[in-house]
């Protein structure tokens, strides 16, 4: 709890952290795997967290950069067209309401493209005051660039920000940015580990801190 007491803002990962998009993510990647004569189980084992281009290059290492771009563009269209099953993660709506009531600065940092982030967040009924998407950075997670940009946009020092994540690559990005690392769902290592966002909200409230300036 003492880690959270030093925080004045929160930055959230999207998929698997703020929203539950597992069904949509796996449906899109399963279709991509089958289109490319790949084992869907192998793709699904690694597709959560990295940006789409990283996953495409992992399984199709011999294609050109232009071909990677084509795969990513087609995959983005497929994902944006299907948000069925996307819903807020447990505790997300209550946490968002609590942050708004207490004037706590927050935003989303995601490896998804902005179009997809807006589609999925909208489907889940979550409208963040700011989004740092894959379009905004040169390097996605696990690089800290997105988190550092998010902190600058909130006008808060990275060490005073909690980076809330569910994947190893996301936790690594928040850690490399010098933030308080919060894991939702048990991934480690992290400064704070929560079962879900309901527990995080309670920990923040128990810390008796106003995270806003």
Query: Annotated catalytic sites, by residue?
Result: 13, 15
CA distances from 7 to 81, 144, 174, 182 (A): 37, 18, 13, 11
Residues in a beta bridge with 161: 9
Residues sharing a CB contact under 8 Å with residue 176, sequence separation 6 or more, in sequence order = 142, 143, 144, 147
Q: The sheet that has 106-109: what strands, in order across it?
A: 131-132, 106-109, 9-12, 161-165, 180-184, 192-194
- Which of 155, 152, 142, 110 minimizes the C-alpha distance to 128? 110
The answer to whether 112 and 48 have CB atoms below 8 angstroms apart is no
Strand 19-20 versus strand 87-88 pairing type: antiparallel
As to burial, measured by CB atoms within 10 angstroms (0-12 exposed, 13-18 middle, 19+ buried), residue 213 is exposed
């Amino acid at each position: 709890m003492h880690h959270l007491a030093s925080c004045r803002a929160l930055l959230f990962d999207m998929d698997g952290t703020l929203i539950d998009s597992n069904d949509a993510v796996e449906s899109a990647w399963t279709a991509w795997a089958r289109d490319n004569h790949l084992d869907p189980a192998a793709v699904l084992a690694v597709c959560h967290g990295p940006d789409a281009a990283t996953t495409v290059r992992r399984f199709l290492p011999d294609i050109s950069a232009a071909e990677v771009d084509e795969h990513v563009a087609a995959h983005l269209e497929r994902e944006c067209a299907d948000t069925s099953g996307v819903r807020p993660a447990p505790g997300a709506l209550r946490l968002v309401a609590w942050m708004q009531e207490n004037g706590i600065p927050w935003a989303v940092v995601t490896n998804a493209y902005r179009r997809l982030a807006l589609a999925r967040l909208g489907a889940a009924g979550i409208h963040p005051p700011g989004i740092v998407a894959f379009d905004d950075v040169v390097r996605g997670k696990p690089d800290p660039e997105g988190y550092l940009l998010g902190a600058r946009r909130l006008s808060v020092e990275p060490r005073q920000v909690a980076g809330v994540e569910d994947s190893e690559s996301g936790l690594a990005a928040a850690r490399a940015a010098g933030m308080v690392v919060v894991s939702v769902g048990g991934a480690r290592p992290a400064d704070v580990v929560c079962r879900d966002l309901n527990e995080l909200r309670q920990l923040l409230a128990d810390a008796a801190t106003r995270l806003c300036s």
